[in-house]
Structure 1
Amino acid sequence: MNSAPKQPTIVLIAGHWLGAWAWDGVIEHLATGGSRAVAMTLPGLDASDPERATRTLHDQAAAIIDLIGQPEIGSEAVVLVAHSGANGPVSLVLDRHPELVRRVVWVDSGPVTAGTSFASDLPEDMVELPLPPFDVLSAQASLDGLSPADLDRFRAKAVPEPGAVLRQPVELTNAARLAVPTTLVCCSLPSAQVLELARAGHPMFAALAEFDDLDVVDLPTGHWPMWSRPRDLAQVIESAAFRTS
């Protein structure tokens, strides 16, 4: 008799300015559904760390690898969920240890193209980048679906992003990362448009075309679906976590 597959641990990693707290609503819904999930705060985004502004992409990738390498977390390959700017360190993790990742779920995000950085033009003397005013941020990423309370919490808890994280190019050399099963959750742009941009070689999406096993899911909302549609996002993540192909 075949034994049931072991339940994977879902590791949730939020994007710029955010910590584990950003996933509270999603964690609650995943727990209700019986899924094992843990959210992490990347190095550089812990307000209590006196050295946080000096943290790098390599520090962030190393922290993820340390977490998923723990027996209680990674006894079965984990499902990594990367929101927005978490795509840099998660792309590095896939490159260094693809065998540790059962599936990667990109939430309004996607894998990074080798050699690129998030903000290569960020001045070298800018140690960190605070959360911009929301009228500036909304020109770069959709705030659709966020309530005034969501925005107030975002502003109150946001931690400035280390400049080194934003400037550092992502160096990728291991083609085995491309075989990791991949789910793309499209929120602020529909999947049809994202895939068209990927095929056209758009630098933000071109790496998607390289992955062998790509599943796409539309979840229309703004760039922060963990706040605007937490229950629906939890369901999408849970479904992706148990996909076998």
Structure 2
Amino acid sequence: MDILLIAGLWLDASAWDDVVPELTALGHRPVPLTLPGQGDGATSATLDDQLEAVLAAVDAAHGMPMVVGHSAASTLAWLAADARPEKVAKVAMIGGFPAADGQAYADHFAVEDGVMPFPGWDPFEGPDAADLDQQSRERFASDAIPVPAAVARGVVRLTDERRFAVPVVVICPEFTPAQAKEWIATGESADLARVDRLAYVDIDSGHWPMATRPRELAGVLAEAADS
């Protein structure tokens, strides 16, 4: 199966470098995506531009792909299911829930000079970054790509209720499946509460398992694609 890999904020396709060979060895075709404004040098990209890039990859896939979104990009993966419910086999969300219709894509941190730069590690101290050593933190911060404001502040639009028939697996890194279930049950994601086939998988990592647990993450993704 083609597995489309969408990294979260401040990351480009290279975030998946250690996951790609593992998925290939497990018999899948990983397709890491570089999004407009996050790795292609553009600073004026919009959320719609990023979604168009994801949909182009869905349309070019061999058969029906699984679309994987990490963190904030869980919303992009869900937008792809909304726009192509007949073409997306499954959605996997790593460490994130999709933003609701009418919400901003990622209105989490300050925008400066038209971009949302990486805010440093203070907001992520605790379970998020517990498994990142100092060298990994420094490399992440150095390589972080500021997110265009029109992406971060872009408004999410969901229009096709057929998306609820697309199976979803929530991969739980810095939180547990039990916590994710409770959050969804208490209103954290009205959309996920309506998904017909919703599964949860635990992975023992911080918020960036592609960096700290690439082999384990590839195994989880391959199992989700195979099921």
- Range class of TM-score, shorter chain: over 0.9
1:105 aligns with 2:92: yes
Find the counterpart in structure 2 of residue 59 from structure 1.
49
**Alignment partner of 1:95 is 2:85:** no
Judge conservation of contact 2:19–2:210 (CA < 8 Å) in 1: yes
Measure, in 2, the Cα distance between the counterparts of 1:206 and 1:172.
Answer: 12
* Correspondence for 2:129: 143
Gaps of 5+ in 1: 1-7
Provide structure 2 residue ranges, at least 5 long, that are not aligned to the other structure.
none
- 1:161–1:125 distance in 2 versus 1, CA, 3 Å: closer
Is 2:55 the counterpart of 1:68? no
Matches within 5 A, 1:3-42: 8-42=1-35
**Cα distance change on mapping 1:116 and 1:214 into 2, 3 Å:** same
The equivalent of 1:193 in structure 2 is: 179
TM-score, with structure 1 as normaliser: 0.86
Size of the aligned set, in residue pairs, is: 227
The 8 Å contact of residues 69 and 76 in structure 2, kept in 1 or not, is answered as no
CA contact under 8 A between 2:10 and 2:144: conserved in structure 1?
A: yes
Paired residue for 2:151?
165
Offset of 1:28 from its aligned partner?
A: 2.0
TM-score by length of 2: 0.93
2:139 to 140, 153, 164: 153
CA RMSD of aligned residues (A): 1.9
**Structure 1 consecutive aligned stretches of length 4 or more whose deviation exceeds 3 Å:** 118-126
1:126 & 1:98 partners in 2: Cα distance? Answer: 37
Distance (Å, rounded) in 2 between the aligned partners of 1:174 and 1:126: 35
CA 1:98–1:126 in 2, change beyond 3 Å: closer, same or farther? farther
TM alignment of 1:162-241, pairs within 5 A: 162-202=148-188, 205-241=189-225
> Quick check: 189-198 or 109-118, which moved more?
109-118
The offset of 1:121, in angstroms, is 7.9
Select the residue among 56, 67, 70 that pairs with 1:80: 67
